[in-house]
Amino acid sequence: MILRDALNRVINLLYEGQPTGHATSLKDYENLFPVIGVPAIAKSYQEDEVFAYTRVAGYNPVMIERVSSLGDRFPVTEEHYQAVMGTDDSLAAAGLEGRLYLADYKILSGVINGTYPHEQKYVYAPLALFALPKGSDATRLLRPVAIQCGQTPGPDYPIVTPNSGKYAWLFAKTVVQIADANIYEAVTHLARTHLLVGVFAIATARQLPLTHPLRILLRPHFDSTLAINNAAQQILIAPGGGVDRLLSPSIDNSRVLAVLGLQSYGFNSAILPRQFQQRGVDDPNLLPVYPYRDDALLVWDTIHQWVSDYLELYYPTDENIQKDIALQTWAAEISAYDGGRIRDFGEDGGIKTLNYLIDATTLIIFTASAQHAAVNFPQKDLMGYAAAIPLAGYLPASTLKREVTEQDYLNLLPPLDQAQRQYNLLSLLGSIYYNKLGEYEQGYFTDEKVKPLLQGFQSHLQQVENTIKQRNLHRPAYEYLLPSKIPQSINI
């Protein structure tokens, strides 16, 4: 405690003399990088194409859902639509043809705005509509069509489009990024990787004997996870910590969001191919460019094959699964109210089939390795630059009711000292690579029968590496799911 206080005093001294207050020009954010160079995203983030691409290859690539129409909640008109997509296209046709995608930040409505350390911050619950142009071109990209910065249409939340004026549109897009960043930290990252895996780490240690084959398979994927989760709980998401300081909601509400994020995550519907189906984004003919989906499925299939090969050694029939008392106790603890409280886990309260155990184990390993890598490491390159991805907004969305000026846009963005701290924290969190997926300690698996299976897994991962590198020759590089950049476990 004394050491931490002393360290905090040193850190605060380092910030003395640094620029503070709101920017008067975007140059002020670039000037925060006199030595290491301005992050590349500074040059491109205002482009609509980049804003849309962030939905499919960014730090939170799990939000968009295919919709056939918008309903009363988000009354985008044909006129709005055609002004962006052209008069030879229509909103109705796009809906029928599977070309409309919605990012809905409803979970943030009613969230309490934070004020730490000293300024009023705002959180928003916007709706953002994206569409694909007509045709069958496999390189068609999503385009942003319209944004409404709250869940209820009306004068408080006008529909904003690329034709609403440069700063109004930039303001609305920034509101979406702020909402997205807040969902990202509390839900996608903390709740649905760190906290989810923490439950399995605890139940596995408590209920599976040291020599149990499932425990042996899972253990390397829990390395350091409880330690980093504990540190997050004590420091990062504590009152006065980084989340309180940099994100929009009050700290209590950020913590509530993390809880909601986990409680609302049904395990069985999170099985990866099912997740994409449920959001309507599984079909590459409808949504051709989705780098996260395409790479994640490659890694998923590879882990699935390895888990399946491994578990088949120990469970020749479903009956072996049903009679494994330790396994059944493990499953019960994961969903128990006085245990892990994971919703929608198991098959009618237990585990009945090998196929289910393979899917479930694949999801645990995938989440601890690939999914965490896909969402953790963009913190440095994509999220560090606060003008592009602010972690909090500093003006209400109702600013859009009047004409928005450049200074309004700058006042929405984090003050310069906050921007500096955002970079410092996120570049640290996004820089620590500890080990690699598929690389176990020498001699870790003592069962001779596992060795050829492990070799198969490792060479399969190498093929995935090559495939993704090949893909990156034909798209803006998406490198977060390269197996060589995926650690075995969550440790940062």
Query: Which amino acid, residue 161?
Result: T
Choose the binding region for Mn ion from 23-31, 237-245, 282-290, 370-378 (rule: CB under 5 A). 370-378
Tokens, residue 33: 């990088």
> CB-wise, 374 or 404, nearer to Mn ion?
374
- Of 263-282, which residues contact Mn ion (CB under 5 A)? none
The Cβ of residue 476 has, within 10 Å, a number of other Cβ atoms equal to 12
CB of 196 to Mn ion, least distance (A): 12
Residue in the shown chain whose Cβ atom is closest to Mn ion = 376
The site that binds Mn ion (CB under 5 A) totals a number of residues, namely: 1
> CB-wise, 82 or 229, nearer to Mn ion?
229
CA–CA gap between residue 205 and residue 208 (Å, rounded): 6
> CB-wise, 431 or 463, nearer to Mn ion?
431
> CB-wise, 376 or 399, nearer to Mn ion?
376
Please, is 260 exposed, middle or buried when counting C-beta atoms within 10 Å of its C-beta (0-12, 13-18, 19+)? middle
379 forms part of the interface with Mn ion (CB under 5 A): no
Choose the binding region for Mn ion from 71-79, 111-119, 368-376, 471-479 (rule: CB under 5 A). 368-376
CB of 232 to Mn ion, least distance (A): 8
> CB-wise, 362 or 371, nearer to Mn ion?
371
> CB-wise, 101 or 222, nearer to Mn ion?
222
376 forms part of the interface with Mn ion (CB under 5 A): yes
- Of 144-183, which residues contact Mn ion (CB under 5 A)? none
> CB-wise, 400 or 429, nearer to Mn ion?
429
Buried b (16+ CB within 10 A) or exposed e, 374-402: bbbbbbbbbbbbbbbbbbbbbbbbebbee
Dihedral of CA 358/364/365/370: which sign?
Answer: positive
CA–CA gap between residue 158 and residue 150 (Å, rounded): 9
Choose the binding region for Mn ion from 273-281, 293-301, 374-382, 477-485 (rule: CB under 5 A). 374-382
CA–CA gap between residue 347 and residue 444 (Å, rounded): 31
> CB-wise, 188 or 376, nearer to Mn ion?
376
367 forms part of the interface with Mn ion (CB under 5 A): no
> CB-wise, 196 or 327, nearer to Mn ion?
196
Choose the binding region for Mn ion from 32-40, 143-151, 349-357, 369-377 (rule: CB under 5 A). 369-377
> CB-wise, 376 or 418, nearer to Mn ion?
376
CB of 490 to Mn ion, least distance (A): 6
> CB-wise, 59 or 315, nearer to Mn ion?
59
Chain positions contacting Mn ion, by CB under 5 A: 376
